[in-house]
A and B are shown apart, each in its own frame.
Chain A
Amino acid sequence: MSYDSIAELVNKLVKNPKSMVSQEHEIHSSKLKSNELSIIQNVFSKYEVSGDTLTIKVLPLAEWA
C-alpha cells in the first residue's frame, strides 16, 4: 500500500473534487491499487464530508485503542 500516493490523491481531490475523472486515467502510472481508488471514490461520493465535520462516528466500535 502506498500511503503517500493515497494522501496525495486525497489532497488533490479535496482541492478540486471534479478532478476524480482525470485521476482515474492516472491510475496506471500511480502506485494506487484499484480497490484503494474505489475506496477514495466512495468516500468522496457517498460520504460527503462537510466543512465542519472532523470526526468518524462509528458507534459499534468500542474503545479498543
Chain B
Amino acid sequence: MGVEEEMSQQLDQAIFTEINEIISRAQLNAEMVNLIKSALNADNKTGELFPWANLTLLSCECVSGIPEVALPGAIAMELFALAADIFDDIQDQDNDNLPWRKLANANAINLAICLLMLSYETVSNIPDNGHFREIITILNRTGISAIDGQFQEFQYDSRDQITLEQYFELVKQKSGSLTSCACKIGAMLGGGSEALVWELDQFGENLGIMCQIRNDLNDFLDFEKKKDFLNNTKTLPYVYLLSILQRQPERFKELIQLQGKGLHKFGNEERDYLKQIAIDEGVAHYCKVMYEVFRQKALEIIMAIPVPEKGKEKMIKLVEESV
C-alpha cells in the first residue's frame, strides 16, 4: 500500500470513528443508529468512502491546512449531503434500491432530518467561534439555495419546455451549491485567505455541474433506476432534445408523445425509439461538450490558484480526466 493510500485510509477511519462518536453522544435508539450506518456510503458506486467529507478535506489540503482541524466541517458536510440526497430521492421517488427508499416516506424523512441535525451538532464541535459561525452560515445558505433549486425543478416539471440557460442556472443552484459548499468549508477551516476560499468555491461549483451533467446523461435511459423522462423532469438530454427539435416539428411531436406515455405504456419499443432519437440528435455529444466546458473551467481555476503544487495535486486529478 502506498503512502497516499495509507493516509487516505487513516482519514476514512478518523471520519468513521468521529461519526460513531457523534451518533453515540446523540443517544439515538438502535434502529435509527443502524439506519444511519446503512445509509452512509450506500449510494457509492466508485468505492470511495465519504466522498463529501473527503472533498472538504482535499480543499483543506489544497490551502495547506491541517485535515484534523477541518474534520468536524468535513463530517458535517457528509451528513448534510446525505440528508439532501435522501430528501431528493423521497421527492423524486426513485433510486428504489437505496436503504432509505425501503422505508415508509415518513421514516425516510425522519432519517434525513436526524442527519441534518447531526450535521449541525458536528459543526458545534468547531472550537473557533468565528469559524463556527461562518460554517453555519455556509451550510444554511447552501441549504436555502439547494431547496430553492429543488422547488424550481418541480415547477419546471409541469412546464412543456425550459431553456438550456434555465437548466444550467438550476443545476448551479441544486448541484453546484453543494460541491462549492464542501470546497468552501475545507478552504476556510484550512485557513485559506478570502480570495482562496472564493476560488475553491468556484472550483466546487463547476465540479458539481460536471457531476450533474454526467448523472443526467448516464441515467437518461436507465429506467430501472430513474424515472426522470417519464416524470417530465428537465434533465440535460431532455432539455437539449426539446430545444434542438424545435426545428423538426414531426420529431418534436414524437418526443412529446413518448414522454406522455406514462410508466405502464412505456415498453421496450418506446425505450428503443427514445434511444434512437438521442443517438440521431447527438445527446451524448452535447452532454460531453458541456461536461468538457465546465471541466476546463474547473481546471483553469485550480491551476491558477496560488498554492504549492503538492497541495492541489489531488484537486487537479479530480478534473483532469477527460471524457
Can you report 5 A-B residue pairs in the complex whose CB atoms are below 8 A from each other?
Answer: A6-B289, A10-B286, A60-B321, A63-B43, A64-B175
Interface residues of B (CB under 8 A from A): 43-46, 48, 51-52, 54-55, 163-165, 167-168, 175, 178-179, 182, 207-208, 210-215, 217-218, 220-221, 240, 243-244, 275, 278-293, 296, 317-318, 321-323
Q: Which residues of A contact B (CB under 8 A)?
A: 1, 3-4, 6-8, 10-11, 13-15, 35-36, 39-40, 42-44, 46-47, 49, 51-56, 58-65
Question: Would you call A54 and B45 a contact (CB within 8 A)?
Answer: no
Tell me the complex Cα distance, A64–B218, Å.
14
Q: Are B285 and A58 in contact (CB under 8 A)?
A: no
Q: Are B215 and A65 in contact (CB under 8 A)?
A: yes
Whether the pair A55, B217 counts as a contact (CB closer than 8 A) is: yes
Q: Are B285 and A14 in contact (CB under 8 A)?
A: yes
Known contacts A10-B286, A61-B318, A63-B211, then 10 further A-B pairs from the complex at CB < 8 Å, ordered by chain A residue: A3-B168, A3-B290, A7-B240, A13-B285, A14-B285, A35-B296, A42-B292, A53-B284, A65-B211, A65-B214
A19 nearest CB across to chain B (Å): 13
Tell me which of B211, B221, B278 contacts A64 (CB under 8 A): B211
User: How far apart are the CA atoms of A47 and B163 in the complex, in Å?
Assistant: 27
Q: How far is the CB of A5 from chain B (nearest CB, A)?
A: 10
A17-B267 Cα distance, complex, nearest whole Å: 32
Task: Note all chain A residues with C-beta closer than 8 A to B45.
Answer: 63
